[in-house]
Amino acid sequence: MKKLLAVAIAFVASLSVQAQNVQLHYDFGHLNDNLSTRPKLTSTVEMFKPDKWGNTFFFVDMDYADNGVAAAYWEISRELRFWQAPLAIHVEYNGGLAKGVGSYNDAYLAGVTYSWNEKDFNSGFTITPMYKYLAKQSQKHSWQLTATWYLNFCNHLLTFDGFADFWGDRRFADGRNIAVFLSEPQFWVNLNRIKGVSEDFKLSLGTEWKVSNNFVNQNHRWYWLPTLAAKWTF
Protein backbone atom coordinates (compact mmCIF):
# COMPACT_ATOMS: atom_id res chain seq x y z
CA MET A 1 0.00 0.00 0.00
CA LYS A 2 3.08 2.18 -0.07
CA LYS A 3 3.06 5.75 -1.42
CA LEU A 4 -0.66 5.99 -2.01
CA LEU A 5 -0.87 9.36 -0.28
CA ALA A 6 2.16 10.53 -2.24
CA VAL A 7 0.07 10.84 -5.38
CA ALA A 8 -1.67 13.82 -3.79
CA ILE A 9 1.46 15.53 -2.49
CA ALA A 10 1.49 18.36 -5.00
CA PHE A 11 -2.22 19.01 -4.41
CA VAL A 12 -2.13 19.22 -0.65
CA ALA A 13 1.16 21.09 -0.69
CA SER A 14 -0.44 23.79 -2.77
CA LEU A 15 -3.09 24.18 -0.07
CA SER A 16 -0.48 24.14 2.72
CA VAL A 17 -2.39 21.51 4.67
CA GLN A 18 -1.44 18.17 6.12
CA ALA A 19 -3.18 14.91 5.35
CA GLN A 20 -3.20 11.34 6.61
CA ASN A 21 -5.24 8.17 6.19
CA VAL A 22 -5.62 4.65 7.54
CA GLN A 23 -6.39 1.73 5.24
CA LEU A 24 -7.36 -1.91 5.77
CA HIS A 25 -6.98 -4.39 2.91
CA TYR A 26 -8.24 -7.95 2.58
CA ASP A 27 -5.72 -9.59 0.28
CA PHE A 28 -6.95 -12.29 -2.11
CA GLY A 29 -3.36 -13.29 -2.96
CA HIS A 30 -3.54 -16.25 -0.58
CA LEU A 31 -5.90 -17.92 -3.08
CA ASN A 32 -2.95 -18.28 -5.48
CA ASP A 33 -1.53 -21.81 -5.18
CA ASN A 34 2.02 -20.45 -4.87
CA LEU A 35 1.06 -17.96 -2.14
CA SER A 36 -1.25 -19.95 0.14
CA THR A 37 0.56 -18.72 3.29
CA ARG A 38 0.29 -15.05 2.29
CA PRO A 39 -1.29 -12.93 5.09
CA LYS A 40 -4.92 -12.04 4.40
CA LEU A 41 -5.00 -8.63 6.11
CA THR A 42 -2.77 -5.57 5.72
CA SER A 43 -3.14 -2.19 7.40
CA THR A 44 -1.51 1.00 6.13
CA VAL A 45 -1.00 4.28 7.96
CA GLU A 46 0.12 7.25 5.85
CA MET A 47 1.04 10.80 6.81
CA PHE A 48 2.00 13.78 4.66
CA LYS A 49 2.93 17.22 5.97
CA PRO A 50 4.19 20.14 3.87
CA ASP A 51 6.11 23.14 5.16
CA LYS A 52 7.84 26.15 3.64
CA TRP A 53 10.93 24.06 2.80
CA GLY A 54 9.16 21.14 1.14
CA ASN A 55 7.30 18.18 2.62
CA THR A 56 7.65 15.00 4.69
CA PHE A 57 5.86 11.75 3.89
CA PHE A 58 5.83 8.33 5.55
CA PHE A 59 3.77 5.16 5.59
CA VAL A 60 3.78 1.98 7.69
CA ASP A 61 2.44 -1.34 6.39
CA MET A 62 1.64 -4.22 8.74
CA ASP A 63 0.64 -7.73 7.62
CA TYR A 64 -1.51 -9.83 9.95
CA ALA A 65 -1.48 -13.62 10.29
CA ASP A 66 -3.51 -15.88 12.59
CA ASN A 67 -0.85 -15.59 15.30
CA GLY A 68 -0.39 -11.82 15.09
CA VAL A 69 1.65 -9.38 13.03
CA ALA A 70 3.67 -11.27 10.43
CA ALA A 71 5.62 -8.36 8.95
CA ALA A 72 6.04 -4.60 9.23
CA TYR A 73 7.55 -2.27 6.65
CA TRP A 74 7.92 1.49 6.43
CA GLU A 75 9.23 4.22 4.20
CA ILE A 76 9.91 7.84 5.04
CA SER A 77 10.89 10.55 2.58
CA ARG A 78 11.72 14.22 2.62
CA GLU A 79 11.42 16.57 -0.34
CA LEU A 80 13.16 19.96 -0.35
CA ARG A 81 12.25 22.82 -2.65
CA PHE A 82 13.30 26.45 -2.22
CA TRP A 83 12.09 27.58 -5.65
CA GLN A 84 8.94 27.68 -7.81
CA ALA A 85 10.01 25.15 -10.47
CA PRO A 86 8.21 21.74 -10.32
CA LEU A 87 11.42 19.99 -9.18
CA ALA A 88 12.30 18.92 -5.64
CA ILE A 89 15.29 17.22 -4.02
CA HIS A 90 14.16 13.81 -2.72
CA VAL A 91 15.74 11.68 0.06
CA GLU A 92 14.21 8.45 1.38
CA TYR A 93 14.69 5.51 3.74
CA ASN A 94 13.10 2.02 3.43
CA GLY A 95 13.19 -0.77 6.02
CA GLY A 96 11.24 -3.31 8.04
CA LEU A 97 11.12 -6.80 9.51
CA ALA A 98 9.29 -10.10 9.06
CA LYS A 99 8.54 -12.78 11.65
CA GLY A 100 10.84 -15.78 11.23
CA VAL A 101 12.89 -14.02 8.55
CA GLY A 102 14.45 -11.06 10.32
CA SER A 103 14.94 -7.49 9.20
CA TYR A 104 14.70 -6.31 5.63
CA ASN A 105 17.98 -4.82 4.48
CA ASP A 106 17.96 -1.05 4.84
CA ALA A 107 17.82 1.02 1.66
CA TYR A 108 18.73 4.70 1.31
CA LEU A 109 17.67 6.69 -1.74
CA ALA A 110 18.32 10.16 -3.16
CA GLY A 111 17.05 11.79 -6.33
CA VAL A 112 14.92 14.51 -7.89
CA THR A 113 11.10 14.60 -8.13
CA TYR A 114 9.23 16.21 -11.01
CA SER A 115 5.53 16.89 -10.36
CA TRP A 116 2.66 18.02 -12.61
CA ASN A 117 -0.97 18.80 -11.75
CA GLU A 118 -3.99 20.04 -13.62
CA LYS A 119 -5.04 23.55 -12.64
CA ASP A 120 -8.19 22.17 -10.98
CA PHE A 121 -6.23 19.28 -9.39
CA ASN A 122 -8.43 16.61 -10.91
CA SER A 123 -5.31 14.75 -12.04
CA GLY A 124 -1.56 14.80 -11.66
CA PHE A 125 1.61 12.72 -11.50
CA THR A 126 5.16 12.64 -10.16
CA ILE A 127 8.34 11.00 -11.51
CA THR A 128 11.40 10.42 -9.30
CA PRO A 129 14.67 8.89 -10.59
CA MET A 130 16.92 7.92 -7.68
CA TYR A 131 20.25 6.48 -6.66
CA LYS A 132 19.67 3.57 -4.26
CA TYR A 133 22.13 2.34 -1.63
CA LEU A 134 21.47 -1.27 -0.54
CA ALA A 135 22.94 -1.67 2.94
CA LYS A 136 24.51 -4.96 4.09
CA GLN A 137 24.74 -6.34 0.55
CA SER A 138 27.91 -7.21 -1.35
CA GLN A 139 26.86 -4.95 -4.24
CA LYS A 140 25.50 -1.88 -2.57
CA HIS A 141 24.96 0.59 -5.42
CA SER A 142 21.71 0.49 -7.37
CA TRP A 143 18.93 2.65 -8.83
CA GLN A 144 15.16 3.17 -8.66
CA LEU A 145 12.54 4.92 -10.75
CA THR A 146 9.25 5.79 -9.03
CA ALA A 147 6.09 7.22 -10.61
CA THR A 148 2.83 8.18 -8.86
CA TRP A 149 -0.48 9.41 -10.22
CA TYR A 150 -4.02 10.42 -9.23
CA LEU A 151 -7.22 11.00 -11.17
CA ASN A 152 -10.46 12.27 -9.63
CA PHE A 153 -13.68 12.17 -11.64
CA CYS A 154 -17.46 12.28 -11.24
CA ASN A 155 -17.09 15.36 -9.01
CA HIS A 156 -14.47 13.54 -6.88
CA LEU A 157 -16.84 10.66 -6.18
CA LEU A 158 -14.32 8.29 -7.80
CA THR A 159 -10.55 8.27 -7.48
CA PHE A 160 -7.99 6.27 -9.44
CA ASP A 161 -4.47 6.56 -8.00
CA GLY A 162 -1.35 4.57 -7.31
CA PHE A 163 2.35 4.20 -7.85
CA ALA A 164 4.88 2.17 -9.85
CA ASP A 165 8.43 1.32 -8.74
CA PHE A 166 11.15 -0.17 -10.96
CA TRP A 167 14.52 -0.85 -9.35
CA GLY A 168 17.69 -2.89 -9.37
CA ASP A 169 18.15 -5.41 -6.55
CA ARG A 170 19.93 -8.65 -5.66
CA ARG A 171 18.61 -12.22 -5.83
CA PHE A 172 18.16 -13.78 -2.38
CA ALA A 173 19.66 -17.14 -3.38
CA ASP A 174 22.91 -16.11 -5.07
CA GLY A 175 23.22 -12.32 -4.87
CA ARG A 176 22.93 -11.84 -8.62
CA ASN A 177 21.52 -8.64 -10.08
CA ILE A 178 17.81 -8.58 -10.91
CA ALA A 179 15.28 -5.92 -11.89
CA VAL A 180 12.09 -5.66 -9.80
CA PHE A 181 8.79 -4.09 -10.78
CA LEU A 182 5.98 -3.26 -8.35
CA SER A 183 2.81 -1.25 -8.94
CA GLU A 184 -0.27 -0.82 -6.74
CA PRO A 185 -3.07 0.97 -8.60
CA GLN A 186 -6.15 1.71 -6.48
CA PHE A 187 -9.74 2.57 -7.28
CA TRP A 188 -11.85 4.30 -4.59
CA VAL A 189 -15.48 5.32 -4.14
CA ASN A 190 -15.49 8.35 -1.80
CA LEU A 191 -18.72 8.06 0.17
CA ASN A 192 -18.77 11.68 1.37
CA ARG A 193 -19.29 12.80 -2.25
CA ILE A 194 -22.65 11.03 -2.40
CA LYS A 195 -25.63 13.36 -2.06
CA GLY A 196 -27.01 13.33 1.48
CA VAL A 197 -23.78 12.01 3.06
CA SER A 198 -21.88 14.36 5.37
CA GLU A 199 -18.61 15.75 4.01
CA ASP A 200 -17.03 14.77 7.33
CA PHE A 201 -17.78 11.08 6.69
CA LYS A 202 -14.42 10.52 4.98
CA LEU A 203 -14.74 6.79 4.32
CA SER A 204 -13.72 5.38 0.94
CA LEU A 205 -14.33 1.83 -0.28
CA GLY A 206 -12.41 0.27 -3.12
CA THR A 207 -9.77 -2.13 -4.34
CA GLU A 208 -6.05 -2.35 -4.95
CA TRP A 209 -4.22 -4.49 -7.49
CA LYS A 210 -0.68 -5.53 -6.59
CA VAL A 211 1.10 -6.01 -9.92
CA SER A 212 4.68 -7.23 -9.67
CA ASN A 213 7.58 -9.10 -11.22
CA ASN A 214 10.45 -10.49 -9.12
CA PHE A 215 8.88 -9.02 -5.97
CA VAL A 216 6.55 -11.62 -4.42
CA ASN A 217 8.82 -14.40 -5.66
CA GLN A 218 12.08 -13.89 -7.55
CA ASN A 219 11.06 -16.22 -10.37
CA HIS A 220 10.49 -13.76 -13.23
CA ARG A 221 6.74 -14.42 -13.05
CA TRP A 222 4.07 -11.73 -13.07
CA TYR A 223 1.59 -11.60 -10.20
CA TRP A 224 -1.75 -9.74 -10.09
CA LEU A 225 -3.05 -9.82 -6.51
CA PRO A 226 -6.30 -7.94 -5.77
CA THR A 227 -7.57 -6.62 -2.44
CA LEU A 228 -10.88 -5.38 -1.08
CA ALA A 229 -10.21 -2.22 0.92
CA ALA A 230 -11.55 0.54 3.16
CA LYS A 231 -9.86 3.89 3.83
CA TRP A 232 -10.54 6.67 6.31
CA THR A 233 -8.93 10.04 5.52
CA PHE A 234 -8.30 12.47 8.37
pLDDT tens, residue by residue, 62-73: 999 888 899 999
Residue 18: predicted pLDDT: 55
Cβ-contact 78, 65 below 8 angstroms: no
Query: β-pairing, 203-213 with 222-233?
Result: antiparallel
Residue 34: predicted pLDDT: 81
Parse the chain into domains and list their residue ranges. Answer: 5-233
The whole-angstrom separation of Cα 129 and Cα 139 is: 20
Residue 135: predicted pLDDT: 92
| Distance in Å from the first CA to the final CA of the chain | 17
Cβ-contact 71, 99 below 8 angstroms: yes
Residue 15: predicted pLDDT: 42
Q: What is the largest CA-CA distance in the chain?
A: 59
Transcribe 70-96 into DSSP letters: EEEEEEEEEEE--SSSSEEEEEEEEEE
Select 5-233's CATH number: 2.40.50.140, 2.40.230.20, 2.60.40.10, 2.40.160.100.
Answer: 2.40.230.20
Residues of the chain with pLDDT under 50: 9-17
Burial class (CB in 10 A: 0-12, 13-18, 19+), 126: buried
